[in-house]
Amino acid sequence: MNVKIVGLDESGKYGDNQIFFSQIELNEEFEADIFIDNILNTKNFFYKDNELKGWDPIKKVNLCHKIINKGLIKLNFFKLNPIEQNKIFRDIYKFQAGFLYNEREKLIEIFEGNKESKDLSDIIAQLYHYREPHFLPDFCMKSYSYLYILYRFCCKETNTKFLQQENSLIKTQIDGGNLFSYWWKDFISNHNQKDLLENKLFINGISHGDKYYLSMNLADLFAKAFNERPQSFFRSKIEDVIYKFNDINCSKDLFYEKLWYYLKNPYFKNRILFFGQSEAFNLIPHLLHFKKRTIIYEPFHIKKNVEDFFRYFKIGPVKKNLVVYSKKLSKDHKKNVDYCEELGIKIMRIDELKDNFLDFYNFIEEATKYYDHEVHRKVQTILDKYKTYF
């Protein structure tokens, strides 16, 4: 199977002079080499967000160019400028104003006694969108931008020809979760290459994906570096995100309606909940994905009460949840694990994933045989360190 993985992430927020996006494309066959490169650069499998924030911008840029020069990835940048941001802001404002005005009519009917007061709770639920004032416009701008970036990606003849090959597919991984990918079915069903894309293009929005999955982790690194020093990437392709639904054959009304719905109705395909502390937590989602490539877990490290987490993000289908806990747990986390077990959620202690890690260990170790002795030694040190966690 010939698999391309496309990772997407952004840096910036609405109101900034630009919101920057990076698109990383890699072949699954190069996965081991990229992990080895990460280990040599960071002594870890992934770039850590807290470390990236402390790095000098020039150091990030130099590292990005070093990765580019190795030829293991392809790279594209996009930017959403204030003019296009204002167009999106105008339309989301019009949508929410119309929606809330219609809710006003329901309130009047309840007040006049023409409607049951139980309907009031449905109206109040719409205010959930405003728990943070920046959520609605920020999510809207970024979600549209990812939609546009993927449209541009599918327009490229090289990608179409790749998908036309036998046993080939493209996995698109978008950092941020379902709110940045909820439009995927409409995108594919309205595309002029629908017959090709519906069996060959897979789109996943993954919460915290930039910390746990290779493509988005690299996209996060490049997005941050590009945001801080865009002039250092003048040789890379940089496109503007254009706000124009007609070009991408998607319904603007449906886009806003679904965004509004999912803002108060969190959705996930598969989810993993971590309890306790372990340096190996950041590797576990990939280990599970490495074993079964069709499943991607959205990871959440629960630091407080899991019942509060479920109130906010919902439990969803029980079988779509998985709990992994560390060898040492506080009393509160033991209660969290017991509560999840009572719900029927599958529970695993971290050392139960030892076989998963050993398979991955052998996969990386096999790849180091093609490198010099010093590289093999450095990689082996990190692999052995992780081995102790399991």
Per-domain residue ranges of the chain: 2-83+134-264, 268-390
AA identity, residue 73: I
**238-240 and 74-80 as β-strands: parallel, antiparallel, unpaired?**
parallel
Question: 79 with 19: CB under 8 angstroms?
Answer: yes
d(Cα 187, Cα 198) in Å, to the nearest integer? 10
- Please state the separation of Cα 64 from the chain's center in Å: 20
pTM exceeding the 0.75 threshold for the entire prediction: yes
Cβ pair 117, 111 in contact under 8 A: no
Which pLDDT value is given to residue 140? 95
DSSP state of 297: P
Q: What is the pLDDT of residue 240?
A: 97
CA distance 90 to 180: 19
Helices 31-42, 57-70: inter-axial angle, 10-degree rounding: 150
Instruction: Give the pLDDT of residue 115.
Output: 66
Question: What does the pLDDT read at residue 192?
Answer: 86
Q: Check: CB of residue 190 under 8 Å from CB of residue 245.
A: no
Q: Which residues, in sequence order, are CB contacts of 91 under 8 Å at separation 6+? A: 252, 256
Q: Residue 249 in 3-state DSSP?
A: coil
- 268-390 and 2-83+134-264 share a CATH fold: no
pLDDT of 89 reads: 93
Give how far the C-alpha of residue 287 lies from the chain's centroid of Cα atoms, to the nearest Å: 17
Q: Supply 218's token pair.
A: 């690299």
Looking at the domain that runs over 2-83+134-264, which CATH code has it been given? Answer: 3.30.420.10
Query: How far separated are the first and last CA of the chain, in Å rounded?
Result: 30
Strand, helix or coil at 88? helix
Residues 6+ apart with CB under 8 A from 269: 204, 296, 298, 320
CATH class of the 268-390 domain in this structure: alpha beta
pLDDT at residue 106, rounded to an integer: 79
Q: Give which of 320, 323, 34 is closest to 178, Cα–Cα.
A: 320
Dist CA 322 CA 342 (whole Å): 13
Q: Could you tell me which of 101, 93, 178, 97 has the C-alpha nearest to residue 136?
A: 93
Q: State how far the Cα of 143 lies from the Cα of 243, in Å rounded to an integer.
A: 12
- For the chain, 390 residues long, the average pLDDT of each consecutive 10-residue run is 95 92 96 96 92 89 94 95 95 89 81 70 76 86 97 93 93 96 95 90 96 97 95 92 91 93 90 96 96 94 94 93 95 96 97 96 95 95 93
